[in-house]
Amino acid sequence: MSQKHNIIWFKRDLRADDNAPLLTASRQKDPAIPLYIVEPDHWLQPDASPRHWHFIHDCLCDLNIELQDLGQELVVRVGSAVDILAQLHSDYNIGTLYTHEETGNLWSYRRDIAVQNLCTDLGIRLQTSPSNGIVRRLGNRDNWSNIRNKRMAEALHPKPNALQAVERCPSDALPTKYDPMFGKLPIGQVQKGGRIQAIKDLRSFLDDRSRGYLSHISGPNKSEFYCSRLSTHLTFGTLSAREVSQSIAKRRAQLSTEENKSFGRNLRAFESRLAWRCHFIQKIEDQPEIETHCMHPAFENLREATHNPAHFQAWADGTTGFPFIDACMRNLIAKGWITFRMRAMLVSFASYQLWLDWRVTGPHLARLFTDYEPGIHYSQMQMQSGVTGINAIRIYNPVKQSKEHDPNGVFIRKWIPELKEIPDDYVHEPWNFTPNLISSSKFRLGQDYPAPIVDNVTATRAAKEKIFDIKDGPGFKTAANTVFVKLGSRKVQSRKARKAKPKTNGQLSLF
């Protein structure tokens, strides 16, 4: 039999630093094939977008350069993971498949089960390493945060010194950014990917941009600069959560007393949100079905029967007649990123005022977000739609949010030029504006910009009544308690308190 080879299967860990599978494989005597599989079936899923591929493409180019420096270029194959791995085993007698545990969507979950079964059938040893703070086969959530924090404090895995080259292992050509396999590219920008850019973004945030993090995290005008912009790097693994966590700690240790006033509180807040990130991904690890089913079963079939395609299309296009909602959606379409509060508001408005099902709006937003992370995405879709059973119901008032976060209408006018001539007093509610004899504006509601597609007060009241009718129903609290035990966050508490009945009044803060 021919010499054994090993495989390092890169998925959403597109880096050479702090990469346990890569480091472990490099220390074995057998040659290792660093492999990335472009899976056409993945790109047919409703949450996949060319915007994601553009970022991944940058990452693969950087990763290939790093691997070439180690002595073995990245091998790219296009096709089904099961078929490609079976063929590589036939050609190279694979001994061990090294890879990170991936917590993705239902499609990747089922794909990984198929790969696991293949390895069992072919006698390939499958060695998986934890990814970030996610704990596979977690017994319960009581001690999860302690496990996660311990992992974040462990030493980073160094980049290997070298990889033993594999003779004559052909690679498919890396598909271009514009290959038809990935669909039509959304109009607008795509955040630059790759390890080089990841380090650059991390350094600029820690050294400068983080000083305005808390001040501008909610508003849309400056959040694009002062927020970390590391989410996409974490999603596709050009940075590990541990690298970011330890970099924050080092930066905080460097701060002078004076610098701590402007940076310290902001960095602590960001560090907390980094932990919440792992918390939400852990939810879909523990219960993959939250991509398709409400956490609390009482909310199933709540909105599906009354789906309004016209309302969905207006929301998706940014033409609802509510300026702040439409500006946020158009910004997202153009840039592929918008701050968390605005994301929550878009989902809340779709789910409550428009009464659209989160399983319809979720894939649309997933395609727009360059940093789409399934665990965070579907947990938040459900939270902002009021179907978890363990979180407080929060319905955003789009006019109130507009006045608070864009008081002079700068953001609105940037993304809705139709309203550029509307006075400040009316830019948040153009339906109240009536040109008079001395006005120079020729604006006509319903012609230049649509009238609101729903009445905010009436729609909000109706949504609250429907939600609370279910929450007040028989057996709701018992089922909510079950959800909390499996998916809810835990605070540090005594053993006696842990034995007490968990509260179900919404102990999770927004990520």
Q: With cut-offs at 50, 70 and 90, classify the pLDDT of residue 387.
A: very high
| CATH code of the domain occupying 5-129 | 3.40.50.620
Average pLDDT over the chain, rounded to an integer: 92
Q: What are the pLDDT digits (tens) for 92-111? A: 999 999 999 999 999 999 99
Residues 6+ apart with CB under 8 A from 346: 315, 325, 328, 329, 332, 338, 365
What tokens appear for 4 in the block? 């054994």
Q: How many CA atoms lie within 13 A of 154 on its CB side?
A: 15
Is the separation of the CB atoms in 177 and 54 below 8 Å?
yes
- What per-residue confidence (pLDDT) applies to 439? 62
The percentage of the chain sitting over the pLDDT mark of 70, rounded to a whole number, equals: 94
Would the pLDDT of 138 be above 60? yes
| CATH code of the domain occupying 139-156+194-282 | 1.25.40.80
CATH class for the domain made up of 297-499: mainly alpha
Domain boundaries, the chain: 5-129, 139-156+194-282, 297-499
- What per-residue confidence (pLDDT) applies to 440? 62
Instruction: Report which residue type is found at 339.
Output: T
What tokens appear for 377 in the block? 């995405």
What average pLDDT does this structure show over 428-447?
Answer: 80
User: Shortest CA distance to 351 belongs to which of 340, 342, 362?
Assistant: 362
- What per-residue confidence (pLDDT) applies to 499? 40
Report CA-CA distances (Å) from 409 to 88, 221, 318, 426: 58, 10, 16, 9
In this structure, the number of other CB atoms found within 10 A of the CB of residue 262 comes to: 12
What average pLDDT does this structure show over 54-83?
Answer: 97
Q: What are the pLDDT digits (tens) for 221-254? A: 999 999 999 999 999 999 999 999 999 999 999 9
Give the 3-state secondary structure of residue 283: helix
- What per-residue confidence (pLDDT) applies to 49? 95
Spatial distance between the Cα atoms of 229 and 193, rounded to a whole number of angstroms: 11
Burial readout 335-364 (b: 16 or more C-beta within 10 A, e: otherwise): ebbbbbbbbbbbbbbbbbbbbbbbbbbbbb
More confident residue, 46 or 187: 46
Is the separation of the CB atoms in 22 and 8 below 8 Å?
yes
- What per-residue confidence (pLDDT) applies to 133? 93
Q: Is this prediction's pTM over 0.85?
A: yes
Q: What are the pLDDT digits (tens) for 291-303? A: 999 999 999 999 9
